[in-house]
Chains A and B, each alone.
Chain A
Amino acid sequence: MSGDKKTKTIKTIRIDVDKCNGCRACELICSAFHAEPRYSSNNPARSRIRIIREPIRDLYIPVYAGEYTVAECAGRDKYTIDGKEYDECSFCRASCPSRDEFKEPDSGLPLKCDMCEGEAEPLCVKWCTHDALILEEREEEVEEQEEPEDLEIGLESLASKFGLDKIMDAVARLSKKS
């Protein structure tokens, strides 16, 4: 850790559920943007934003895909806001075993919002003409951290899956072979 100060841009999407008209354009355009090649296919089930939506109960909550989690929560919450009861998990961004949201429909691999990197604004924000989704950016000073290398990230995830001991054993075995 170097401890140097550095400014960092924080992107936030301000979500106004009262303005959501439930059209799901955000889901559609997200899936198109992340298709390979870009815009070649459409499928809201691949989208990294979902409207948790129950029209008869007037529930419309746009939620962005956040972190993948291996295990579901031990306890759940239920919110009641302005007399409307929201289901458990309604506001949660996790791709998690307890629900179908934020998983590739074919592989089951987790999806995560990347704010449409490279675009002026995330496309869901652009296509939400009712301003239920608004992009806000701010600069923050943060302590610079060394970016972990790809190898380290890979090793960490292997370690979390198999345990560090097994990884070390495997490395030891491999190095003997070579």
Chain B
Amino acid sequence: MKLAKILLGSAVVLGSLAGASYAEDQRIHIILCGDDTWGGEVNAAHMAAWEASNPGFKTDIEYVPWGQCQDKATTLAASGNPPAIAYMGSRTLKQLAQNELIMSHDLTEEELASYAAPILGTVTADGKIWGLPRAFSTKALYYNKDLFEAAGLDPNSPPKTWDELYSAAAAIKEKTDADGIGLAAASFDNTMHQFMNYVYTNGGEVINADGDIVFNSPNNVETMEFYGKLASVSQPGPVAYDRGKLVPLFNEAKIGMYISGPWGRSQTGDAVNWGVAPLPVGPNGTPGTLLITDSYAVFKGSGVEEAALSLAKFMTSTDNQMEFEIAAGLTPLRPDHPEVAKLREADPTWGAFLDAIATGGPEPFVTDYVGLQDVINEAIQSVVLGEASAADAVAQAAEDLEEYK
């Protein structure tokens, strides 16, 4: 009798638990990078608004440190337990798509038109959109006005061409205690990013729209030569420096110039008397910049794919995205948005970052981004260290890149 009671009681408890779980909202697991200090409140408000109009779903944000967030989402997906949405570097999308881990997004003509065309290029492969851009950056040239003046240069006339850039760097190196320019050449992703800024301002490409490797071009050989030449007027040992390590050098007036994104303004603050200008243009190029986006990727196999697609689209819709960008201090993804004009007016330094969007180029979209990055960094380091000619380094890299297209 006692046993029967226990069994009956257990059945009731289990039944009520099952009923409760059946009535529970479906969880939408979202992996975001960093913490909630950059746009976290806006994120939460937008997700609450989406939940209100989509009953039955509950968003669950997991913040993971920058160094691990993308690896965690990828590893979870590879092991069959994917998040519904993850914040991913857009450069990884082609690889994820090729391995059938993520969903493509259907955007209306109006939604597509709201983005500048080069931005869509950062998330498009095989004619499909694989992620919705969430964070965006362009690059510009930061320069120390006081060092320009000390070197006999006009502090209100930053270099506009590569020749002017080299001359200014050489003058600073020769006439002041500082080095001319900060050059990144460490074994790190932003070394390739820095180099790509020069590639895009000299009419070069790594992979074309047809998916062919076109790295071995006269333009890129010229770019590689110039990057190597800059090492003669840069800080000593550029191979030991990634972009982040250049910031203290600039803030301590140990280098006259360096290239960085809009966050560089707050990183320097009033440490030195600085200006920011569009990237100087190479002999065979036009104004440009490397466009980097991070996107919301929706993973297959979460069980809530359709809801996740809806949520991602809602979060990145025109006004919501703009609100997030203002809160997080990011370059606006939609330069035609009315709020962008106000931003420019309030802070004219935005101009250098916004004007180059139209002619900017995306990160090379390949199936093995880390492999590509290693190959290009190897070429850069061989030239910067003077161990290979630019032509040989570019030719070798182009050959090696065939494996990753």
Q: Do A and B bind each other?
A: no
A residues touching B (Cβ–Cβ < 8 Å)? none
